[in-house]
């Protein structure tokens, strides 16, 4: 039996893959969500509120010409948190990017209230997104 928050992450990932960021905004993110992206590249920082998070996702799409995809490997969940293990793949300006990524999400009332993103190779991420 899977935890309902495992399904939440899988459904949110499927919405992103389908380009349905509106579903992310309406169904999976709290209005006051905070998303932390580790590192020093142009995506790094703290994004406060659903509008800022939507802008982050738009920037990822713009920089990768819509090619960024997350291949979800596994999701661990309890009543407060999820941890998802994935591979990100993207293309940009003739460059290819692939890295392992971990998303840790704090969930309340079925919506993400805080998210932390960590990639395995922050130097490769910085180089690709810059």
Per-domain boundaries in the chain:
4-129
Residues 6+ apart with CB under 8 A from 7: none
Q: What is the pTM of this model?
A: 0.92
Provide the 10 A C-beta neighbour count for residue 48. Answer: 12
Q: What's the Rg (C-alpha) of the chain? A: 14
pLDDT for position 45:
96
**CA 30-56-81 angle, 5° bins:** 40
**pLDDT tens sequence for the chain (130 residues):** 789 999 999 999 999 888 888 888 888 999 999 999 999 889 999 999 999 999 999 999 999 999 999 999 999 999 999 999 999 999 999 999 999 999 999 999 999 999 999 999 999 999 999 9
Give the β-pairing of 111-119 and 29-37.
parallel
Return the CATH number of 4-129, one of 3.10.450.50, 3.60.10.10, 2.60.40.10, 3.40.50.720.
Answer: 3.10.450.50
């Amino acid at each position: 039996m899977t935890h309902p928050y495992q399904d939440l992450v899988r459904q949110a990932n499927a919405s992103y893959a389908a380009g349905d960021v509106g579903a992310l905004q309406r169904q999976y993110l709290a209005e006051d969500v905070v998303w932390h992206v580790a590192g020093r590249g142009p995506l790094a920082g703290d994004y406060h509120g659903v509008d800022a998070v939507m802008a982050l996702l738009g920037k990822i799409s713009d920089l990768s010409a819509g090619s960024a995809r997350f291949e979800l490997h596994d999701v661990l969940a309890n009543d407060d948190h999820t941890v998802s293990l994935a591979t990100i793949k993207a293309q940009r300006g003739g460059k290819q990017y692939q890295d392992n990524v971990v998303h840790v999400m704090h969930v309340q009332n079925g919506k993400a209230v805080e998210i932390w993103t960590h990639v395995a190779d922050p130097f490769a991420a910085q180089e690709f997104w810059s």
